[in-house]
Amino acid sequence: MIIKNDTELEALKEIGLIVAEVLYKMGLAVEPGISTRELDAMGLRWLTEAGAKSAPQEVYKFPGATCISINHRVAHGIPDSTCLRAGDLVNIDVSAVKNSFFGDTGSSFCVPPAQAKREELCRIGREILNLAIAQVTHGKPVNIIGKTISQEAKKRGFTVIRNLGSHGVGRSLHEDPSFIAPYFDASDHRMLKEGMVITIEPFVSTGAKEVKQERDGWTLSTHKRYDTVQYEHSMVITRERPLILTPVPQASLA
């Protein structure tokens, strides 16, 4: 969407802050022995207390309030009785709707005690997201996002998941600009415009380049057991640095 007035901006800020705070609190609860269903129940309770509804449930009838994916399962993991183990890599994606406006954010966490290689991958994932965010301003091509993500990942010896991309958000969970590739797409001539609301969400991997859907019809995983992380912010394009709608709380997990 393109923001038309301050009322829309304030509504987007509100839902963005809600999903960011829920994600942060869920991250704090990540520990060995907790089940993904228990984590999801926490997320649902906090969303409900904030007057928001789960976007995956509302839009896609997803069998959970949030998406929680472990290790080589990269995205859209269904919360269940699976318990986290020390050293696991877990991705939590929180998206919600309030007053007809959507917010979307995500983060990967290492279950303590963390493996050094996985901690490093998480650090690199956050770094690449921030580098991509720094590139987006009014008047630049949309494909600068994928160009930055893929170049920075390759420079550090990692790959990106090519069939998972960023997207527009705001009045819907997924809207124009649809599928913003995480690689340089020379055929994409779309331009970033002031007031445009998008996500940026690189999936950075130790070797995978695509994901496949598992038999449950939701979970996306790598063909081999590659570690993969995802970090996501929703933002508004401006003439300078974008306005982050899903800011990490001050007591940052990073």
Mean pLDDT of 227-253: 89
Give how far Cα 216 sits from Cα of 12, 31, 104, 111, Å. 32, 25, 23, 25
Q: Which amino acid is at 199?
A: T
Average pLDDT score over residue span 128-138 = 98
Query: What are the tokens at 105?
Result: 């954010």
pLDDT digits (tens, 9 = 90+) for 144-190: 999 999 999 999 999 999 999 999 999 999 999 999 999 999 999 99
Question: How does the average pLDDT of the chain come out, rounded?
Answer: 96
Dihedral over alpha carbons 134, 168, 196, 152 (to 10 degrees): 10
CA 83 – CA 34 distance, rounded (Å):
5
pTM above 0.85, yes or no: yes
pLDDT interval class at 107 (50, 70, 90): very high
For residues 118-125, give the mean pLDDT.
98
